[in-house]
């Protein structure tokens, strides 16, 4: 999406929903694998989930934060938005921190899979709350 098309609610929200839907689907399959104690396959799925979050969620975040992009233009529109954008940037940062922790955990010899599932749930939840707050700042189309 281009910076200007990101300003519009309908298309931007559709993108959020598509991204979170994909993450939720992966989470469901990871939960199933955890219940079945299929740890080898689960480790692969976790790797795929991390990649997905990096490409989709954080890739999208990077596009929003790009200089002269969406966030800069929302801040320019109204000084009252500066604090709101600061919080949205912090949400992106938190998702990055959680992804980094997941990578760290996954690199251990003895992986705590429940911890990884908990992190996945948290990422999806923060992303969902973040998306709704962000959508409040977009233009009806």
Interface mask toward Fe ion for 59-98; x: CB under 5 A: --x--x----------------------------------
Cβ 139 to Fe ion shortest distance, Å: 13
The rounded distance, in Å, linking the Cα atoms of 134 and 129 is 9
Residue list 15-44, contact with Fe ion (CB under 5 A): none
Shorter beta-carbon distance to Fe ion: residue 74 or 117: 74
**41-76 core/surface letters (b: 16 or more CB in 10 A; e: else):** ebeebbeebbebbeebbbebbeebeeeebbbeebbe
The rounded distance, in Å, linking the Cα atoms of 114 and 8 is 38
Cβ 65 to Fe ion shortest distance, Å: 8
Which residues would be at the binding site for Fe ion (CB under 5 A)? 61, 64, 134
């Amino acid at each position: 999406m281009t910076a200007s098309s990101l300003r519009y609610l309908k298309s931007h929200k559709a993108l959020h929903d598509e991204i979170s839907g994909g993450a939720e689907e992966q989470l469901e399959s990871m939960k199933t694998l955890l219940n079945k104690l299929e740890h080898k396959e689960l480790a692969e799925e976790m790797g795929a989930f991390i990649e997905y979050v990096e490409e989709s969620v954080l890739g999208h975040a990077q596009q929003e934060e790009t200089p002269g992009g969406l966030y800069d233009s929302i801040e320019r529109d109204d000084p009252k938005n500066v604090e709101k954008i600061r919080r949205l940037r912090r949400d992106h940062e938190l998702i990055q921190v959680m992804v980094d922790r997941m990578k760290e955990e996954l690199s251990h010899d003895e992986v705590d899979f429940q911890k990884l599932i908990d992190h996945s749930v948290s990422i999806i939840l923060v992303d969902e709350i973040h998306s709704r707050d962000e959508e409040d700042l977009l233009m009806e189309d």
